Structure formats: structure tokens, C-alpha cells
Amino acid sequence: METLVMILTVFVLAIFIGFEIITKVPPTLHTPLMSGSNAISGITIIGAVVLAGEIGNPMLAKTLAMVAVIFATINVVGGFLVTDRMLKMFKKKG
Amino acid sequence: MLSMNLVNYSYLIAAVLFILGLKGLTHPRSAVRGNRLAALAMLIATVVTLLSGDFEFKYIIIGIAVGTIIGVVAAMKVKMTSMPEMVGLFNGFGGGASVLVAGAALISAMALAAGHEANTQMKVATVASGIIGSITFFGSYVAFGKLAEFLAVKWKLHLWQKIIKYGFSLAVIAGGIWFGIASGITPYSIGMMASAVLIGLVLWIKNARFPGMDALKIVAAILAVGLGVMVVLNPGNSMLFWTMVGVAGLLGVLLTLSIGGADMPVVIALLNSYSGLAAAATGFVINNNVLIIAGSLVGASGVILTKIMCKAMNRSLVNVLFGVMGPTSDTPDADEVYKTVKSTSADEIAMMLDTAQRVVIVPGYGMAVSQAQHAVRDLANLLESRGVSVEFAIHPVAGRMPGHMNVLLAEANVDYDKLIEMDHINPTMETVDVAIVIGANDVVNPVAKTDPGSPIAGMPIIDVDKARTVVIIKRSLSPGFAGIPNPLFAAEKTLMFFNDGKKAILELIEAIKES
């Protein structure tokens, strides 16, 4: 149960940090914020790779995890790239 | 193989980089670096994870390779006007990944833990991840389909739209039935198959709403939670989990399907928040801090954006999700309101702009549809070269996602300093000589302030009605999303220029150059 308390603490504090930082994002950057944070939600990829690669995992679990790796990678790679494309347009023109 | 300590320290570094990355997004100057820091954090977390144990790399490599190719192609090809669809779609993949990880974790825990059962935390988190992830996945698909205009529409679809629409429906039905039969017929597998068939059928229909829809939403919500409790009590039966995922998916479809175009910014923000929460829940499943931190950052960001969007429409979230927006019985008749509408030409507007000192351009979804952003930029530059001050007034819900107009204008090289938020430009609207509204309607409808009975009552608007002259570029007098006439169009100082957004601006540029 002690780990639960610890990770709950992390969860709650992280939410507060999130609120604090994101309230400061100006409306101009709301779309890149969405697509960038969206890419961050692809962090599930690390759960997916563990389950896809764990030796001795049942075949069904591995297959599902492999599809999860595909999904999460699309989310991560596509999300960060498209955000980068957008943000480059926001650079101040001289 | 790395030691567990080293792995955890690396996760800590990744978490810090995620936070610094998001912090970078608070200013356009630091935003590119911020995004790259977050990407670096992701890379560190992934590489460290791959080095943390003895893995069989076959499936991992296939998965990453396929995902990278699809992700790169999609990100490079997408047009800026289609950004809302793209974000919706990527979001769905994130949600889908969370469901699958939770399901795989459940199966493997049951297989590996022969004897000692999984603990309560893992079971509850698996359920949360399954429900939220499934709502996100199916909800995002519907949002994507509605934004790409192939779901819940009555007109004829292009071939690619048909392939996606019917292909996805059939895949859900066939996949559900195959998985159900392969796992053996039990009451639960029948429930799972039934929900897959229902999802497929609902996605097939051409209406956004049907009788009994709200009741079905409530039934699905109760069923999903009920099944969730059963999964916690009886985690050994993985079919229970998949039935819950199916029912939650149906809920995601129903919740998103009935939402109208102008409410899309809220829904996209909400789904974004869900995808973060699903990732955080997955973190609780596998006891991983970096998942929890990254997931909750995203969850928080989605919640804030949802709140901002709701506030910008003066509606509650419940109203957006369940309410119907439309004309009420005392909505004035459009013909009556539009009796005094004056139509104008490019030459006439050019003449007015010739003597103007301050011009404000108010873009709406119509600018995105007609891809007019580059032409609008040319117009602004031309006016500025003649000594006119030009600004853009941006309503928070203009377009189909938060910040949609800003991205389009940034693509067209408009300096972000020129994009003024509604609250900042409204107090000075009186000094504006000409306000040019391009493809916006409800967000400039003064009825929001004058008629407490109107469906948009109380919604903050851009006060173009206070400008000296108003030019509205619009294809027709058709109503906006709220379905009510806009008395601004018929006001004494308003001139209507009926035309496609891009064509209108191009004609206007010609006319100014000739004058």
C-alpha cells in the first residue's frame, strides 16, 4: 500500500504543476499546446514496449501490446513532428 | 541491462524535461525548443525502458517501425487547415494504446501471477485505463470523422471517406465478433460482441442524433462502471474487461456523435484531457512514475483548455455534452431581420478602406474552409503599406479547435503580435474604422448581449457592432451553428459582401490596387 501513497502523491502534485504551467500558455499557442501535450500522452509507449517484449508473456498479450506500440508511436512521432511544424511558423519574422 | 536505480533516475530526468518542455510552450519564442525538450524526454524514457530488461525485441521493433512510418507521413502531409482532424486522430491513437496496454497487462498479470492475485491498485487502474482509454479512442475517431465530414452527414461521400467510414464500422463489428467467438461463447463475450455491433451500426447511420440517444448514453455509462466493478472483483475473467471496453467505446461514440461543429473545440480539448488521464491510469497499472507525471500534465492541460472553451461560449460542459443548441420559439424570423440587408461590391469596400486608419479583421471557420489565410495576409500587408493600421481579432472559439485561427494566420506569416484576443480588442472597437468579418457569424452576433432568451445569450462576442463600418464576407445569409439570424448583418453600418472568402479577398486586393 505504501507505493500507492507514493504514486498518488506524485499524481496529485503533477496535476498541480500542470495547472500552474498551462494556465500561462497564451491563446495563440493553444493548438500547438494541444498537439504537443497530445504527443506527451503517448508516454504509454513505455508500458507498451515492456509488455510487447517481456519474455514469457502470453501470445495474446504480446500481440495486443505490439498494436499498442504502433498506436503510441504514431501518437508520439506524429504529434511531436506536427507540433514542430506548427511552432516553426510562429517564429517571429524579422 | 541497466540497474533499476539508473532507470528510475532517468525517468526523473524525463519527467523534469516534460515539465520544462511544457513551460517552453508558454511563449512563441521558446515554444519550438519546449516541444523538442518534450520529445527528448520521450526518447530518453523509451530508450531507458528498452535497456532496462531482457526483452524479446521482435514485436517492439515491428511496432515502432510501423508507427514511426505512419506518424511521419501523417505529420508531414497534413495541411494546416486540417489540423483539428489530425490532432483528434493522434489523440485517438493515444487512447487506444492505453486500453491495449491495460488489457495486455491484465492478461499477462493473470498468466504470470499464477497463485498470487494482482493487487487492488492495479485492478482499479486497469479498469480506469480501459474505460477512459476506450472513450478516448472511439470518441476521437468520431471527432475526426465529423471534422473530416464523413460521419453523421447526409451528403455524398468521396471514395476515401467511404473506405474509412464503412471500413472502420465493419472492422469493429467483424473484430468484435471474431474475438468473441475465438474466446468462447459466454454471456460476457456475447455482451462484448453486442457492443461492437452497436458501435459499428451507430457509426454507419447518417444522423448525429436519434431517438433514445441520451437514454442509451446513460445506460452505457452505468453499464461501463458496473462492469468495471465486476472486473475489479473478478480480474481472472478477461472477457469481462473487453466487454467493459466495448460498452465504454459505445459511450465514447454516443457522447461525441451528437456534438455540433461549433462545440468541437470543447470536445477536442476534453478528449485530449482523457488521453492524458488514460496514460496516468496506465501508470498506476504498471507502477510507473513517469507515465503518471506525463499523463497528469496532459490531463491538466486538457481540463484547462476545456474550461476556457466552455467559458468562451458561456455554456457548461454538461450543456455541451448533452444539450441541443438551436433556435427557440421566440427566435425572430430571418426574413424579418434581414429586410434591410445591404449588399456591396469589392470596389465600394476598397473606397472605404482608402480613407480608413484602423482596420480590424475578424476571421472565423469560413476562412479555414476557403483556405483564405494567405489572401488575408496579402490584404493586411497591402493595407499596411498604405499606412493603415491592421489587427486581427481572435475569438477563443473561432474555428474548430482552440487556437485554430492563430495557426492558420501563423502559417500565412502573420506576426503573432497582430493577433489580438477578444478581451483586449473589445474596449477599443469604437475607434475601428472598418471591421472586416470573414466567415464568422455567431461570435459577432450582438444578440448574445441583447436577448437573454437567445440560445447564445451571455456568450462573449467580438464587438464589431461598435466599429464605424462593418464589412461581412460570407457566402449567403445562412445562419451559423446556433441557427439564429444575426441582426448585425442588417444594421445601418453593415455592408454584406456575398462571396467565397478567398475569392472575396482576392477581388478586394485587386480593387484596392486599381483605386
SS3 assignment, position B497: strand
Residues of B in contact with A90 (CB under 8 A): 28, 31-32, 410, 416
- Does residue B348 register a pLDDT over 60? yes
Sign of CA dihedral B458, B460, B461, B466: positive
CB distance B353 to B512 below 8 Å: yes
Over residues B217-237, the mean pLDDT reads 92
Which residue in B54, B263, B442, B463 is the catalytic one? Answer: B442
Which positions 5-64 of A are in contact with B (Cβ < 8 Å)? 7, 10-11, 14-15, 17-19, 21-58, 60-64
Which positions 438-497 of B are in contact with A (Cβ < 8 Å)? none
Query: Cα(B305)–Cα(B268) distance, rounded to whole angstroms?
Result: 9
Q: Residue B454: left (phi > 0), alpha (psi -120 to 50), or beta? A: beta
Closest residue by Cα to residue B398 from B504, B472, B313, B314: B313
Q: Is B442 a catalytic residue?
A: yes
Query: Cα(B8)–Cα(B11) distance, rounded to whole angstroms?
Result: 5
CB distance B410 to A90 below 8 Å: yes
Angle between helical axes of A59-73 and B57-77 (0-180°, round to 10): 30
Angle at B221 between CA B218 and CA B227, to 5 degrees: 135
Q: Cα B277 from chain centroid?
A: 16
- B469 has which bridge partners? B434
Angle between helical axes of B264-285 and A2-22 (0-180°, round to 10): 150
Tell which wins on pLDDT, B155 or B171: B171
**How many Cβ atoms sit within 10 Å of the Cβ of residue B337?**
19
Confidence band for B208, pLDDT divided at 50, 70 and 90:
confident
Give me A35's grid cell.
498537439
Query: Cα(B210)–Cα(A13) distance, rounded to whole angstroms?
Result: 42
Task: Give A56 to chain B, closest Cα distance, Å.
Answer: 8
SS3 assignment, position B142: helix
Residues of B in contact with A41 (CB under 8 A): 91, 94, 272, 275-276, 278-279, 294-295, 298
Q: What is the pLDDT of residues B34-46, one digit of tens each?
A: 999 999 999 999 9
Residue A40: closest CA among chain B residues belongs to which residue? B294
B177 touches chain A (CB under 8 A): no
Question: ipTM of the predicted structure?
Answer: 0.95
Please return the burial class of A63, using the count of CB atoms within 10 Å of its CB with bins 0-12, 13-18 and 19+.
middle
Over residues B82-86, the mean pLDDT reads 90
Confidence band for B3, pLDDT divided at 50, 70 and 90:
confident
Residue B115 is predicted with a pLDDT of 40
Over residues B184-188, the mean pLDDT reads 90
Instruction: Say which DSSP state B475 is in.
Output: S
Residue B214 is predicted with a pLDDT of 85
Which positions 262-321 of B are in contact with A (Cβ < 8 Å)? 268-269, 272, 275-276, 278-280, 282-305, 308
- Does residue B236 register a pLDDT over 70? yes
Tell which wins on pLDDT, B359 or B455: B359
Which positions 16-75 of B are in contact with A (Cβ < 8 Å)? 18-19, 21-23, 25-29, 31-32, 34-36, 38-39, 42, 45-46, 49-50, 53-57, 59-60, 62-64, 66-68, 70-72, 74-75
Q: Which residue of B49, B98, B296 is in closest CB contact with A46?
A: B49
Residue B358 has φ and ψ, to the nearest 5°, of: -130, 120
Amino acid residing at B319: N
Give me B156's grid cell.
455524398
Mutation for B interface: A19, A40, A51, A93, most B CBs within 10 A: A40
Residue B118 is predicted with a pLDDT of 65
Task: Give A18 to chain B, closest Cα distance, Å.
Answer: 5
Go through B16-27 and write b for each residue having 16 or more CB atoms within 10 A of its CB, e for each that does not.
ebbbbbbbbbbe
Q: Under an 8 A CB cutoff, do A70 and B75 touch?
A: no
What is the DSSP track for B395-419? -TTSSSSTTHHHHHHHHTT--GGGE
What is Dmax (Cα atoms) for chain B? 87
Residues of A in contact with B396 (CB under 8 A): 27
Sign of CA dihedral B43, B44, B48, B51: positive
CA distances from B160 to B82, B156, B173, B257, B466 (A): 15, 12, 20, 20, 45
Amino acid residing at B218: I
Q: Which residue of B35, B90, B292 is in closest CB contact with A84?
A: B35
Closest residue by Cα to residue B221 from B257, B189, B188, B254: B254
Q: What is the pLDDT of residues A62-90, one digit of tens each?
A: 999 999 999 999 999 999 999 999 999 88
- Mean pLDDT, chain A, integer: 91
CB distance B145 to B137 below 8 Å: no
Instruction: Say which DSSP state B471 is in.
Output: E
Over residues B12-28, the mean pLDDT reads 95
Cα dihedral B446, B485, B325, B82 in deg (nearest 10): -90
Query: Cα(A25)–Cα(B287) distance, rounded to whole angstroms?
Result: 30
Mutation for A interface: B60, B136, B178, most A CBs within 10 A: B60
Confidence band for B113, pLDDT divided at 50, 70 and 90:
low
Which positions 183-202 of B are in contact with A (Cβ < 8 Å)? none
- B420 has which bridge partners? B393
Query: Cα(B452)–Cα(B474) distance, rounded to whole angstroms?
Result: 26
- B360 has which bridge partners? B391, B435
Residues of B in contact with A68 (CB under 8 A): 63, 96-97, 100-101, 104
Task: Give B129 to chain A, closest Cα distance, Å.
Answer: 11
- Does residue B314 register a pLDDT over 90? no
